[in-house]
Structure 1
Amino acid sequence: MRRIRMTAWVVGALAWLALVSADALATERPALPAKPPGSEQDPDAVAYYHFMLGYQHEVNNAAVEAEAEYLKALARDPNSVAIHLRLATLYHARGAHDKAQAHAEAALARDATNLQALQMLASVAVAEGRTERAIESYERIVALWPQEAQAYFSMGMLLSGLKRYDEAEQTIRRGIAVSQTTAPTGYLYLGHVLVEQKAWDRAVQAYRDALAVNPAYEPAYVGMAATLEAKGDTAQAITVLRKVLQEVNKGNREARQRLVRLLLTQKAYEPALALLREAVQESPDDVEAQLRIGLIYGEQKDYVKAVEQMRLVLALRPQELRVRDHLAYLYEEMKDFDKAIAEYRTIIQADERYSDAHLHLAYLLYRLKRNDEALPHLQKVIALNPKMTEAYLLLGLTLLQASRQEEAVAVFREGLQRNPDSADLHFNLGTAYDKMGRFGELVHEMEEAIRLDPKHADALNYLGYTYAERDMRLEDAVALIQRALAVKPQNGYYLDSLAWAYYKMGRFQEALEEMKQAVAVVPDDPVFLEHLGEIYLTQNLRGEAREAWLRSLELDPTNHKLVERFKAKGFGDPATEERVRKSQQRLSHKAL
């Protein structure tokens, strides 16, 4: 029979339902039969002896010994339904589904209405992905046992996994109708089916119906909160989760974790911290809660507390490498780079295949311009994850920073062989070609990046500015840069590009307006200030132009071209200006 893949949530739901069906037999304490194995007229004492030994082994989780004893009992009495069912349960738990099915069928051959055997056949079919076969088994169950609500629920979930939603809903509602005690469970799974269809309001109502039957049914609160979150009603989701913790069960771990996460999305750090501290009070070794507290301190930029918290977590779990990775990042934020590097290296010594540590260390070394140290870590990341785009990007950028353009080009190309649809790789390959003066290839790569991602703002801006700088295709330049600004309206670099394109077109007033905005956003970029001075000159605003250029030279006194232009415009010698002279002195001391 054709096997059909189910969605992960359906499989999870069925696993939960199994707590009250055949799957539970794999984990529950096995029940003793009402009477010894053997026929009612002539019970077999030896079979019963081996059965009891098998039962004892099963209770003690000694599955191999239990199997051996059950087989001995079965050899003595091959017609015992109870023995076949215990063996089916053992085999199902071990994943030996063919054997589990054979024993369930043997039990049914001797008792055609045995509910436990029918549930086992359905459970085996689910485990093997034979969805239609499982549905047939549940149909047999409800035909023989029409009051068996769990069978309706299980069948409904399977139908939902096949996207047969109307049938799924009808089936689950039939189960609710016959249910005496499990109606809240039925409404819960009805809610899940409706969520799968994005029928948010109906799903919320299903969870409300569950709570109308059992106001303390915690899974319905959690399901309702998740649905409200998916619907976009975060505030109401938070209200529902608070109700669970305040009125139903303050120790509900899942509700607390969800509530903390939602509070963090709202940047409600103090209420989140209060919940996490409660969790730690209840369970001091709750590493996840301890870790979250540290992460919140980091978000609040209270790095000293964050570091203390991470060290506390490491005291509880010294082998938690991801915690050490967070600690290293905190040291980076504190600009204590030596400690950050030491932590990353400790991780790598513990597990040289921990690719995140290699990547994060390489990025820090790249920022510190320690390129030769960064390179082997990036090569290791690529060896571990040959398709990781970020590793190729950072390796290429590190090589560019080291003025090894040809090698950078080779790395970007290798990355594109692995990830041909990466707009970022095309963009960075284009910047490498720009540094090498290969204009045609620069344009091609930028156009390819834009083709793959029409909203790639950096590529749009870069190509537009490139055209403007070369006094070519100026209308296209403006259009490209405006597209970039549509994505990131307050990006100072894009505003500078647009101002420069207007300047090149002779649209000086528009250029001045855009350039002033750019400098307002990024006030300490010497190139922006140089451009601003040039644009002021077009308006004959010489005093403003001179001031803009002096500010530019204060930030970058090595711009000799601007120094000469400053003199040529009759503004004097900028080296006589005290602020420029001090800037030159600072640069000299730094070089020493």
Structure 2
Amino acid sequence: MDDSIQEFKKAVEVGPNSEKTRSNLGIAYHESGERDKATVELEEALKVNPRSAEARSALGNIYMDGGNLDEALFQFKEAVKTDEDYADAHNNLGNAYWAVGWREQAVSKYKDAIERNPNLGVAYVNLGRAYGEAGMLDQAIEELARAERLNPYMPEVHYYMAEVYYDKGMLKDAVSEYKKSMELYGQDAPPDIIAAVNSRVALAQYKAGNHDEAVSGFKKVLEIAPDTALAIKPEEKAISKTSSVEMQKEMIPKEKALAESYSLMGDNDKALKQWRDVIVHCLDTVDVPGTHIEEGTVEKARSSFNELFQADAIGREAQGVYLRIGRAYLKRGNLGEAQLELKRALDINPTLLEARLELVKILIRKGSLEEASLEAKRAELLYPSNEEVEILLGDICLKRDMLGDARVKYNESLELSPRSVRAHNNLGVAYVGQGRLDDAVMEYLAAIELDPTSPKIHMNLGRAYYRKGMKEAADLEFDRALEINRNLAGAYKGKAMIDEDVGRWEEAISGYEQALKLFGEDKYLQKAEIHDHLAAIYSKKSMTKQAISELLEAVELRLAAVRNYDALGLHYYNNGSFEEAVRYWGKSVSLNTVLAKRYERLGTYYSRAAMYDEGILVYKNAASMYRRNESKALMHYNVADIMLEEDLLEGAISEYGKAVKLDPKLARAHTGLGLAYDKKGMLKRAIHHHKKALEIDPNLAEAHKNLGLCYHRQGLSKEAKKEFAIYNNITLKEQYR
């Protein structure tokens, strides 16, 4: 595009009064994203020829891209007036009509464009899209099929065809067309487009019941463009309750007035029921953007309801029974039954704070953070100055990695209750997450001053000291934690990390193994991290087989965590909790890179132990999991190196080739190709790749040496001596660095 701009600029210098040249330069600027320069050139073109339909239409496109639809409509209409037969202007005017919501006028203009130019494929695409969105699916397929016959390589054709098939329930056909559109968009397409297409493929798979493929697709969307995560929400499930909430907002003042009138009339039964309805409808508006409840409504409803509820002996007894049963289930670890009983208590008395707080804690433990946040906000609406509510809101933010919001909530809790041990401790955790270790230490010390018997706070303080490099202080806090609770896995791990750092290998191994025994079965990632540490220790002790065994354990645990996150994400997705599904799938995606690094390390260990088949396998696993092409390329390079060592030359050439394709600047891969071709006796190809490596990195000593050897075999002694001299010079410099 830069070359085109330069050529058109030269043409304008030669003929500044050429409307066609000015238009071409303006269009080139627009296509390169320089809208201001494009506008200047097109306006100059219109000064030369005010009746230029092409310039008008191109100027309209610029205004469309900038969101100035009124000006775009004006320019397109002028273009059509100027040249009634200019099909592109009719099509563009149709797009402008579509953008402002004038569907019928848009369809009419697309038809006008096709009538004037039956080979204008984009007009058929636009008409097909319009029919599809209007529910005229068969007509949409006809128009899109015509567009495909004209140009089967337009990705938009296949994308909109897939949308129509999806709406018709033809899911296999939809998936096929989505995949075609992805192939045609290619990897150079903007991430949001790639993510959108992948999202639709996954949705089609989900609707077809192929849940494993759907989860894989949703994770790919999160990997490509995390900000488009909500695109994975099925449209049929995306019906918001906003409309019903709006109705409730209108009803709340009327119901409040009715409740007050019942109270004045002395009809306590009806007044109690009516105040309960007011409270429930107020709570249902929580977390809906733009909602506003008249000041004092909630407080009035709560106090009036509770005053009347005191006289309802049966209701009070029932709420107490459900609350007690819920707590009993909770003690036994039966979270589902506990949740059910607490909701029954809240159905009777929606203001029962202790039941709602217990419910929030259960939801946090279950990982249902979206629902937990909703219930906590309801509690906050009912009791706006409650320390426990603010702490729970902080805990939810902490779980969501919203550290700044968590800090705000914990500080609000401390304003209400400055001696809250839990608020000080959790605020310290938030500070650690933000890297503010000094602030974290202050909060932990404040918590310990209030409660010196909490082993967890001593352990947290030890971790903060460790991160600050204060190992003696850290070790002391871990010891204090273990004096209070001998079964605290995290404290054993902390002491083992200190032992590892100072080279006390046996003590470190013992500490890590004790921590492994104490961590629960579901603590996949914590246990995986310990196995990583053990692998590193055994590697330093040259106990390669033990290191491999530990790393395999770490990998298996992380794979279990991935499977667990995938299953949890699907569970929440099936239940309509899309934010929770995205959160768990996001965790699963983030683990891929961690797993890739572990597979890479395993490859190193396997190579060191001459276990080449295993090395090839894990390097390939790493290549499939890394996101960046440069990282994938290195893994293929490692596979190729092993194959070259084993004289598997065709395989080595294939893997080096993959590395070069993924990362054209990986000079070592070209050198590897040179060595492989050299072993096959193909010296010309070998020389080509060694030279290519040196084009990328002129200081790659290995490439100079190998190129010299190739020249030597060809009898080119002068060239060989030159390369060997460069090789010696580079290696000599490296020795003295």
Q: TM-score range by the shorter chain?
A: 0.3 to 0.5
TM-score normalised by the chain length of structure 1: 0.45
TM-score normalised by the chain length of structure 2: 0.37
